[in-house]
Every structure is written in C-alpha cells, then in structure tokens.
Chain A
Amino acid sequence: MLVTFGLALLFMALVILVLRRTHQPDRSFADYAVGGRSFDGLYQAMSFLNTWYPGAIFVAFAGLAAARGAIAFYPLTYSALTVVLMYLISRRVWIWGSRFELCTQPDLFALRYGSRHIRTIAALIGVISGFPWLVLGMQALGTLFRFMSLQTLNFDAAVIAGVALMVVRQFWTVRMGMRGVVISDMVQGVIAYVLGTLVILGIIVWMRASRGVAISDIPPQMFDLPGRGSKEGPLYLFALMFTGTLGGWCWPSIFVRLYTANGVRSLKQSAAISVPLGSLFYASLVIMAMMASTLPELAKRPDDIWFAVNQMAGGNFMLGIACVIVLAASMGNIDGGIQAAGAQIANDLVGNYRKLPTAHLIVIAKVGMAAVTLLAAWLACQKLPQLFTLAVLSYQGIIQLAIPQFLGIAWKRGNLVGAIGGMVTGFLVAVLLELQYSGPIPWAYGLTSGVVALGVNLLIYVVAAYAFPHAPAERNRVDSLFGLAERPRTESSAPNALA
C-alpha cells in the first residue's frame, strides 16, 4: 500500500509544484476562463486528450473490450472523427472567439444568433448535462482507490477517499482557472497517454512473451459487431459513433479548448498531434484488454482488468503506476468539467443580463466551481442507482446543441427561431424517447433517442431557416460575421456592426 499511495502522492506533488511555479495573476475574465488564448499546439493536444479520455475508460471501456470484444473499438472511430470536425470549424470559431472575446460555448451561440436568451438555454443544457458525468467521474475514483489500497478499503470508503483527493486538487483549479487546467493537462496528459501507451504496449509484450497470449487466442465471438439481425438493431453502432462524433464538441469543457489556443494554426496542429496519439493509445488499450480477457485469472473480472493485469505483470509497483495513470486521466476530465461549469455560471447565467466587472465575474466563477465541486462530491458519496441512466440521458440531450452549433458555424441562413426551436424540441424528444425505450429504439432500427431527436431538431432548423428569412439588418450582420473569418488577418477591418 505504501508503494501505490506513495506513487500517487508523488504524482500529485508534481502536478501541484508545476501549478505553483506557473501561477500568473489574471488580468481579465478571458485570462481566467480561457487562459488568455495563449497555448500552442502541443498544450492544446494534451489538453484535448486529457479532457476527452477520462480515467473511467481504463475501467469501463477496457471492461467492455474484455467482456464484449471489438465493439469497444467504436470510440476509436468517433474520437478521430470529432477532431476532423474540429479541424473544419476551428478557423471561424477561433477568429470569432478572439475578435469578440468569447469565453464559453454559449457565447458563440449568442454571437451567431444575436440573442442573449440562447446563451442562457445553451448554458443550462451544458451545465445540467455535464453534472452527472462529474459525479460519475468522482465515483470512478472509488475503483481506483480500492485498488490503491490493495482492496482493503470497502467501496464507500474508497469513493470518499477519491472524492476528498479531488476536492483538494480543485483548490488549484478554482484559484488558477483555465491556465491552471491546461498546464496541468500537459503533465497529466504525458502521464496518462504517453506513459499510459508505453505501459499498455509493455503489458501486451509481457502477455505475449510470458503468458503466450496471442490475438488468435481471443474467442471468435469477440469480433462480432451489432449488425443485421442483432438484438440492438442494425444501426445501433452507427448511432453510437455518429452521436460521439457530433457530441464531442457539444460538451462545454471540450468546446472551450477552441478558445484557449493562441491561433488557428495551433488548433490545427493540435488535431494533427491528438488524432494519431489518441488513436494509438485507445487502440492499444482495447487490444490489451481483449488479450488479457483470455487469461484464466481475469476472465471473470472485466472491469478490473487494467489494474489486475498490471499487478500480475509487475506486482504492486506496476499496480501503483497503473493507478497513477488512471488518476492523471481522471483529474484532467474532472478539472475540465468543473472549470467549464464555473465559467458558464459566471459568464452565461449570472452575467448574462447585467454587465459585471471582471473581478466580480472571476469571484462568481470561483464560487460556482467550489459549489459544483462540493455538490458533486456530496452526491458521489450517496447511493444513486439512477445516476448512470441520467448520464446516458444527458448525452442524448446535449448533442441537440450540435445542430445550431455546427450549422450555425457553417451556414449563414440558420436563424434564432430554428436554433432555439430545434434545440429545445430535440432535447425534449430525446428525453421522452430515452425514458420510453432507454437504449436503442426498435422501430428506428437501433438508432438511439439522441439521433432520432437530432432528425427532428434538424428539420425544425432547416424549415425555420426558409420560413423566417433574416431581416436585412440581420443578414448584413451575419454576412459580416462570416466575412470576418474568410479573410486572414482581418481583425482591424471588422465592421462595427458586429461589436
């Protein structure tokens, strides 16, 4: 236990040391909320990966790979595709963000559709939808602490210990805002995904060399994917990948990464770094878990496979390393969620209808982060049987932001009526379908509630775009907005009407 807890404490000390050494006072709310738009491609890539791949994937998705096999590869596809989407929208989003000092995702909605009210709606959907995942992230630390204690802690005590650690860690997130999040993402990202990939590859080599495990030992049924005749429906896998692809940039904590870069070049560079690195990491994890599932000692323990196989390979030292990797991945994800929630509470909810000075906004964001942390920590320690259902439901709901977001960035004709009407209707349809079917919908060939609701959302958006064309002043404003992003280095020529 000394080894596992000792390694975790060393890692925490390293992160805190780096944060203390890099602390800078914030001169504006943009400094606090988006780190002053100052980060290069490498920081951006690590920051994206550390928010995108939470620690839970070492438990839940490695467990899925061990239990169900190749279907666990589906996040590999949507994780890569979502970065392609980012590549396509990065120019407009960054230029608009920089020109208009946008700090949050709802800021972009407000700018594009010329409305304060849509900012409130988008923020509410973002904060509410993200909250169950924050609680789940803290609960996942329970599994981590159970293994760190060599299974001497019961699950309740392990969850409380994990939550306590994360609450302590949040002191620096609250204090330093986004700059602290991105800088710590670099440290955590190197540990979680670079060291993590090396460890995974090492485990694969160890299984092959010491235990004689080969890919050909994996049972054939582990390579079956849901298709025609499957109980989930032929389009179920499509729905999972499509939802993940569109949904990636709907999460406020992910979207805000588009504003922290120091330019479009850094955003695109981060895409070129994060796709191959993330793909190598995740593909290796799934292959390792599938191979490990053939070991007789692990066959009945899919969710424990990451910790158990590391302990088998290298004793408590490797178990400690495995725990530090999961801790690093968890901290990035939870930090990002808390930071985004605080920024939205200050900027998009409290500060939406009245002009507040920067100092007040930063205080509100800090209080919001502290409140979100404590509430999530308290709920994580409770018995909440419906929490996972709520988290799945929230995913189907939050992707309803995709239509007004992506079409708003790509298509001038979209308007406020379609954006709000489609988003709210889509959210309600997703909730109703999810409550009714709770998973793939039989009459929709396995499509999920979110995808069916997206269809409704899209229909409303497009019909409204043609039924209620822009008034001349609004058309000019939107034309100017798009024109701004068409021409390089046009900040100085931006028309005043946009301000």
Chain B
Amino acid sequence: MRTTPAGWFVMIWFAADMVIALLPPLYWAASGPTPTFFGVPMAMAYFLCVAVFISASVAVAFWGERRTDDLI
C-alpha cells in the first residue's frame, strides 16, 4: 500500500479496526443486554458494529486502491 494520503487513511482505519475489536474495556462495557441499540442488546450490537466497521475498511481499501490503480 503506498504512503499516499488515501493510503494513510486506510492504515489508520485498519489500526482503528484492531483497537475497537480487541480493546478489552470496550467489550467489557458492551457486556450485558442493556442498553439496547435500535432494539438490539448492546453485546450483540457491539460485535455486529465491529464486523460492519472492519468490512467497510477492507472494502474501502480495495476500492481506493483499484481506483488509483495501485494493485498489480
């Protein structure tokens, strides 16, 4: 991945993926059925949001690199 502004943006997003997925205080706080997030209990909502966040980072990274033809 090149060190363009877009490349840095993706790298920061990937680092954020690691933090929100692995930082223990975040999942400690998410433990339990309440509060709910659009009717979904917090523990479930936390894991689903992490999955969406990571999926988006990979999709944006691929889309960005394809657009700038940074892939071989």
Contact = CB atoms under 8 A, between A and B. Distances in A.
B55 A220 contact: no
Interface string A72-85: 01101110110110
Contact of B48 (A237, A272, A283, A489): A283
- From B40, B57, B58, residue with most partner A Cβ within 10 Å: B58
A225 B43 CA distance: 8
Q: How large is the interface on B (under 10, 10 to 19, 20 to 34, 35 or more residues)?
A: 35 or more
B50 to A, nearest CB: 6
A222 B48 CA distance: 16
Given A91-B1, A223-B31, A268-B62, A80 B47 contact: no
Nearest to B59: A272
Contact of B65 (A69, A74, A78, A268): A268
A489 B17 contact: no
B21 interface: yes
A265 interface: yes
Interface of A is mostly: helix
Interface in A244-286: 245, 263-265, 268-269, 271-272, 275-276, 279, 283
Give the 5 A-B residue pairs with the shortest CB-CB distance, closest first. A73-B47, A265-B71, A272-B62, A80-B54, A227-B28
Given A76-B50, A216-B39, 11 more contacts: A73-B44, A81-B17, A81-B18, A223-B32, A223-B41, A272-B58, A275-B55, A275-B58, A279-B55, A283-B48, A283-B51
Interface of B: 1, 14, 17-18, 21-22, 24, 27-28, 30-33, 39-44, 47-48, 50-52, 54-55, 57-59, 61-63, 65-66, 71-72
Interface of A: 69-70, 73-74, 76-78, 80-81, 83-84, 87-88, 91, 215-216, 218, 220, 222-225, 227-228, 234-235, 237-238, 241-242, 245, 263-265, 268-269, 271-272, 275-276, 279, 283, 287, 488-489
